Amino acid sequence: MHIDAELIWHNDFTSPTFDAAIIPGGFSFGDHLRAGIIAAASPATEIVRKLADDGKPVLGICNGFQILIEAGLLPGALLRNSSLKFVCKWMNLQIKNNDSAFTCKFERASTARMPIAHNEGRFFAEEEVLNRLEAEGKVVMTYAGENPTGTSRGITAISNKDGNVVGMMPHPERASDSSLGGTDGLKVFESMVEWARC
Amino acid sequence: MNQTFPIEIIISNKPQARDPEGETIARDLMHKAGYDCVKDVRTGKLLLAKIEARDEEEAKSKVLAMCNDLRLYNPIAHTITIRARN
Amino acid sequence: MLVGDLQTTLTPEELEYGRRHLGREPNALEWAMIDAEWSEHCSYKSSKTILTQLPTTGKRVLLGPGFDSGVVDIGDGYVLSLHIESHNHPSAIEPYGGAATGIGGVVRDILCMGNTPIALLDSLRFGDITKSDHSKWIMKHVIRGIADYGNCIGVPTVAGEVEFDECFEANCLVDVACLGVGRKDELLLAQATHPGDSVYLIGGSTGRDGIHGSTFASRTLTADSESDRSAVQIPDPFTKKLIMEATLESNNAGLLRGCKDLGGGGLATGLSEIADKGGTGLDIQLETIPIREADMTPIEILISESQERMLLVTKQGTEQVLHDIMRKYGVSFARIATVTSTGTISILNHGKLIASLPTSFLANAPIIQRNSRIPQLRKPTPPLKQPIDIHQTLLALLASPTITSKEWVYRQYDHEVGIRTVAKPGEADAAVMKLPNGKLAAIKVDGNSRLCNLDPYIGAASVLAECCRNVIAVGAEPIAFLDHCQFGDPNDEEIFWSFSTTVKALADFAKAASIPCVGGKVSFYNQDEVRRTAIKSSPVLSVLGLIEQPEHVTKIAFKDEDDSVISIGPTEAEMGGSEFNHLLGIGDGEVPRLDFELEIETQRSVLECIRKGLVTACHDCSKGGIGAGLARMAVAGNRGAKIDLRKSGRNLADHELLFSESNSRFLLTTNKPTELIQYLSTRGIPSADVGRVTSDALLVKMSSTDLVWSVDALRDAYCNSLQRILEPWQK
């Protein structure tokens, strides 16, 4: 799979002539105050917002998910893990919904294995919001079995109403090489290519 | 007769120690968005404990003793402020 | 020693040497700079002559000890750099900040070479956490410090070890090592070589934190240490990440001539060392140094150890490009000095000369010859009288803090970031990282304080041998090592004897095995005056190995049912220093011997077996003996085995067969047992087919008994114990 990609510096705003955007994981601004809050105010976030509004695929991975929430592009909040510790572990995931830009290449209700690595991964929203997300099929992935962070209803990836913006705590880019533990993550990127074509 | 007093415990880095989190919030969030009026930001952790005691003074001194005993803060790096919430 | 009003750690001899050499009385500022640079921590004045025994050259070695990091050539235009650091004294009083800034320091040393840090390792020693709340507190905060810092800068912490002993109660040991990779043609040295070049100070501001840190590390802990407030450093990994990116980008752009990390002794030592290495001098403008508090004195400015600062030596004419890069990342920068040909470190404050010292005088402390005395030799203990419940003992050993799984620790470390980690914590005997040229690096860190305490020579050599075995077990050839020698007060003649004997042992084994030492550290004064205890001798070693083909990577898990289990190397009745003895409260005993030739030949043969594709799983035998080794392989593979140990050692009692920590041994599995054993016998390596991998329990036949452990019971003892001790309330 070959995709032309450009790295955009957080302080830059350029005209968004892209087909998709990925906000990767990391520790933007040291996770100070709240993970993702400072980065969400960056000029580059506006590129992401424009692409999201245009229906293009936008993926936030881990810290990227936190940034999408702080930027108002996804609902809910990501709180500190209930164990109060960072967790780095390969997890079994269930694909709840394959209508999104990043899961359309998965079989519905299939399982996948990808690693998580974060301090603040406990998804939280009011009960009515969680009910709505589930009813509308906006819960994209949950943990299958063990819930390592105490996240509500095992939720580990959600999408927006149109399914083009997805935030996920697991790292698909770390599950794209069999020598590193598995290749289930590749389907996330294959889905993006498929969606962008349609 | 014992009453219950809400006591605030604020733990933060000592004044002469750097506070990288406060610096980042001031510089990269507040100043970047134009809030020049902000001269300095320090961060801390707030605990609000309801303490049973005869009076407010006793409540505060019980809390101070407990903070020292349990190492709620490290006197090498942190400072604590204990005050009654009104 | 008080010099005027200034408190220093200099001895009367050093003061006399200073006056004589300069031909005058240095002023207070000059004395403060000399004190910082000549501290044990920065100058190695007690240890330098002893360390020269270590072999430091080899066909791959580009830079050996004496630089910020050791550098080895791995072919295809790439190099690896490695370094080890400790933050023992700061972590003992402020464990979170002490450990976190330790990571910050070791990463800077790799960055100084122009390399990108790609892996971190931690080697930690704490008191008895089953009894001491203080040690639990220290441990939890040290690990959180390492996790928060390493995770935030995006460098994976991929391997480590934790050892527990009462002697570390007041003096924890926090060692961190770092591996970096880079292009050979972009290699930087920490030197100022060209007069006219500029020296920039980049990163954090200079404040009063960390003042006297290096002299703090060169004194034993006393009751006053708890109030040694200024010796604590505040970690700031976000700034570090910005510095990393800015420095690497500056180097890629060809702007840098040299780069130096500011650690112990601050600017005083950093500036003198780059000039000394470059054979030049520096004119330093004090007023250009950005300071946090306006009333700082020149002494405070020059010896401050504020974190996250580096020196960049830039080529004349490239300054504007450097400024642009620094501004892009928001990294503070200031041009503070010019490189000169005077051979003198001159400090000016608004044009007025306030200090002037010859570079090589300042940077080279006079060597101290210390006396040593051989301590009383220990006697072997009489054999055990009472019967031992072997079944229970294996489970107790697997649950004991030093042997038990450290999953509680490494789950807090992001060990996947960077997408290079092929062998992750718990999977194999060493971490394995992908390299840009298609090869792989194996890296491990090891120590054994109990053994080194009983016999410093055998102990140190055994630790080096074990660390090499760990690297071999993943399919790598050892190519370099780092040594970190940690001891108590060097003024104590017996302690100094232990130190020199340790170095001799390392030198002897390293020469025999042809593995060069490319760097290391010496940390003395790990001693508590209040309780009058010194730590046990604690050399900690890190071995780097190279794997040529990805197919050679070997892990420990039992893989396929019916694989044969092979025990390599004879087990002997040598329980001294073993975890078994410690569990039973036996402090003494016959330590395992180390036959250098057998050890080296065994290692090379096992590596050859792996390269020939004969091995499906491999695990070196060390702490906890064969018993712990089999248990780990079973738990990792979620499979059992049927084992007959009578062939692995002659005339041994059951507990000796299972728990002896004899050297030169491996456990491996194979689906080609005949070919494997045949090959080993042509190389003169004793081995025995001791059984088969099965689907359920671990069955072990010994001299007197046959025992069975379910894999679930092994897993519960091995994997859940640390959590039970540290967080008994968590489910």
Interface membership of A83 toward C (CB under 8 Å): yes
Are residues B20 and A41, on separate chains, in Cβ contact within 8 Å? no
Residue C221: is its pLDDT beyond 70? no
Interface test with A, best of C142, C151, C433 (most A CBs within 10 A): C151
**Active-site entry in A10, A134, A173, A190:** A173
The position carrying tokens 């070919």 is C675
pLDDT at position C460 is 98
Residue B55: is its pLDDT beyond 60? yes
A32 included as an active-site residue: no
pLDDT at position C672 is 97
Residue C562: is its pLDDT beyond 80? yes
Domains within chain B, CATH numbers bracketed: 3-84 (3.30.1280.10)
Q: Summarize pLDDT for C99-121 with one digit per residue, the tens.
A: 999 999 999 999 999 999 999 99
Interface membership of C234 toward B (CB under 8 Å): yes
Question: Residue C675: inside a domain, yes or no?
Answer: yes
Neighbours of C529 (CB within 10 A): 15
Task: State the nearest Cα–Cα gap between B40 and chain A, in angstroms.
Answer: 15
User: Using a CB-CB distance cutoff of 8 angstroms, which residues of chain A are in contact with residue B38?
Assistant: none
Question: Residue C120: inside a domain, yes or no?
Answer: no
Q: How many domains does chain C have?
A: 1
Subunit partners of chain C (3 or more CB pairs within 8 A): A, B
Helix, strand and coil in chain A, % to nearest 5:
30, 25, 50
| Closest residue on chain B to C97 (Cα) | B77
Q: What is the pTM of this model?
A: 0.94
Question: Residue A55: inside a domain, yes or no?
Answer: yes
| Closest residue on chain A to C414 (Cα) | A88
Are residues B18 and C292, on separate chains, in Cβ contact within 8 Å? yes
Question: Residue A8: inside a domain, yes or no?
Answer: no
Neighbours of C511 (CB within 10 A): 14
Subunit partners of chain B (3 or more CB pairs within 8 A): A, C
pLDDT at position C434 is 98
Rounded Cα distance between C728 and C615, Å, is 40
Question: Residue C363: inside a domain, yes or no?
Answer: no
Q: Which domain holds residue C597?
A: 556-731
Of C236, C416, C422, the CB nearest to A174: C416
Mean of the per-residue pLDDT values of chain C? 93
pLDDT at position C706 is 95
Task: State the nearest Cα–Cα gap between C549 and chain A, in angstroms.
Answer: 12
pLDDT at position C210 is 65
Q: Nearest Cα to A123, choosing from A134, A112, A115? A: A134
C21 included as an active-site residue: no
Are residues B29 and A33, on separate chains, in Cβ contact within 8 Å? yes
Q: Please give the DSSP secondary-structure letter assigned to residue C189.
A: B
Q: Summarize pLDDT for C569-628 with one digit per residue, the tens.
A: 999 999 999 999 999 988 778 899 999 999 999 999 999 999 999 999 999 999 999 999
pLDDT at position C229 is 47
Question: Residue A14: inside a domain, yes or no?
Answer: no
Question: Residue A146: inside a domain, yes or no?
Answer: yes
Q: How many domains does chain A have?
A: 1
A–B: how many Cβ contacts below 8 A?
Answer: 23
Q: Summarize pLDDT for C269-309 with one digit per residue, the tens.
A: 999 999 999 999 999 999 999 998 888 999 999 998 888 99
Are residues C208 and B13, on separate chains, in Cβ contact within 8 Å? no
CATH number of the domain within which A173 lies: 3.40.50.880
Q: Nearest Cα to A90, choosing from A144, A150, A139? A: A144
Question: Residue A15: inside a domain, yes or no?
Answer: no
pLDDT at position C588 is 78
Residues 678-707 of C with CB under 8 A from B: none
> Which of C576-585, C593-602, C634-643, C668-677 has the lowest average pLDDT?
C576-585
C17-21 CB contacts, 8 Å cutoff, 24+ apart: C17/C366, C21/C361
Are residues A179 and C550, on separate chains, in Cβ contact within 8 Å? yes
Are residues C238 and A32, on separate chains, in Cβ contact within 8 Å? yes
Q: Summarize pLDDT for C93-102 with one digit per residue, the tens.
A: 999 999 999 9
pLDDT at position C216 is 58
For residue C318 the two structure tokens come to: 């490239």
For the purposes of burial, counting CB atoms within 10 Å of the CB of C512, is it exposed (0-12), middle (13-18) or buried (19 or more)? middle
pLDDT at position C227 is 46
Q: Which domain holds residue A145?
A: 21-197
Interface test with B, best of C232, C304, C305 (most B CBs within 10 A): C232
Residue C154: is its pLDDT beyond 70? yes
Task: State the nearest Cα–Cα gap between C205 and chain B, in angstroms.
Answer: 9
Q: Summarize pLDDT for C712-722 with one digit per residue, the tens.
A: 999 999 999 99
Interface membership of B14 toward C (CB under 8 Å): yes
C266 near C32, Cβ under 8 Å?
Answer: no
Q: Summarize pLDDT for C365-423 with one digit per residue, the tens.
A: 998 888 989 887 666 666 676 788 999 999 999 999 999 999 999 999 999 999 999 99
Question: Residue A63: inside a domain, yes or no?
Answer: yes
Q: Note whether ipTM > 0.85 here.
A: yes
pLDDT at position B75 is 80
Are residues C413 and A88, on separate chains, in Cβ contact within 8 Å? yes
A173 included as an active-site residue: yes
Are residues C419 and A180, on separate chains, in Cβ contact within 8 Å? yes
pLDDT at position C231 is 56
Q: Summarize pLDDT for A12-60 with one digit per residue, the tens.
A: 877 768 999 999 999 999 999 889 999 999 999 999 999 999 999 999 9
Question: Residue A156: inside a domain, yes or no?
Answer: yes
Question: Residue C647: inside a domain, yes or no?
Answer: yes
pLDDT at position B12 is 92
pLDDT at position A16 is 67
For residue C165 the two structure tokens come to: 């002993």
CATH number of the domain within which C690 lies: 3.90.650.10
Residue B65: is its pLDDT beyond 50? yes
